[in-house]
Structure 1
């Protein structure tokens, strides 16, 4: 868990609900994308991306995503969902996620998302706003040192 906390600057606590499970008795694969979304929104709130979007009409949108399942997750359980930006480019962010099971004491799923910024009125992709980049630099200074 210590390594998990070091890898992910944003960690969201959640529970595994009985309704998250499918007929096979484990969390349905689609639910992991909701878990990732919770962490992604937590990250966006930390860097004030949602406030920026409300003020300027330019905000993040998920362009692509994937998940690698490592162990079956079941209810009841408590989980931590981590999010970090692993790569930065002028027009996109690559965000990595992981789900930690307190019952199993291990990572049960890992995922990745490609985030682009969009001008929601013009319906076109935009560079990641400088204000947002500055906030990511504060949250993850090592991302920009190489």
Structure 2
């Protein structure tokens, strides 16, 4: 399983809950977005983003997200979600997610989201801070070998 997530500097793990399954006996499609959200937050916790948000009021807001389902997750299982930033612009980042079934050692889903920095006090877009940009570059350098 390590190879399936080798390109991801941050990995979030959680158990598949029985209640996440639907009438078709697999994890409901919407749950993958929850896994991705939790994984993104775990990524952000490795950066100064949340601390900066408390001081400046500037933080992330999800602009768009999509998911490609590749293999159905079922209970019992443990899902590992890799997260990486694939693109940084002045005011946004593109985040790639990969969910892997621990039980089957298979990619269950992949997704990509665009996260925009938003000034919640002024109610408009904001730029990525230099410290956040540097922290993301450091995290991503771990897997790229730079």
TM-score category, normalised to shorter length = over 0.9
Deviations along 1:95-128, one digit per CA (max 9) or x if unpaired, are 0001110111111000011011011010100111
Deviation at 1:3, TM superposition (A): 2.2
Give the aligned partner of residue 22 of structure 2.
22
Deviation at 1:143, TM superposition (A): 9.4
Give the aligned partner of residue 50 of structure 2.
50
RMSD between aligned alpha carbons? Answer: 1.7
Moved over 4 A (4+): none
Give the aligned partner of residue 39 of structure 1.
39
Mind listing any 5+ residue stretches in structure 1 that lack a counterpart?
none
Q: Matched residues in 1 for 2:64 and 2:142: separation?
A: 24
Q: Matched residues in 2 for 1:54 and 1:143: separation?
A: 29
Q: Matched residues in 1 for 2:64 and 2:117: separation?
A: 13
Give the aligned partner of residue 72 of structure 1.
72
Give the aligned partner of residue 114 of structure 1.
114
Equivalent residues of 1:95, 1:113 under 8 A apart: yes
Mind listing any 5+ residue stretches in structure 2 that lack a counterpart?
none
Q: Matched residues in 2 for 1:68 and 1:124: separation?
A: 30
Equivalent residues of 1:57, 1:121 under 8 A apart: yes
Equivalent residues of 1:10, 1:83 under 8 A apart: yes
Distance 1:143 1:25, change over 3 A: closer
Q: Matched residues in 1 for 2:143 and 2:104: separation?
A: 30
Equivalent residues of 2:9, 2:142 under 8 A apart: no
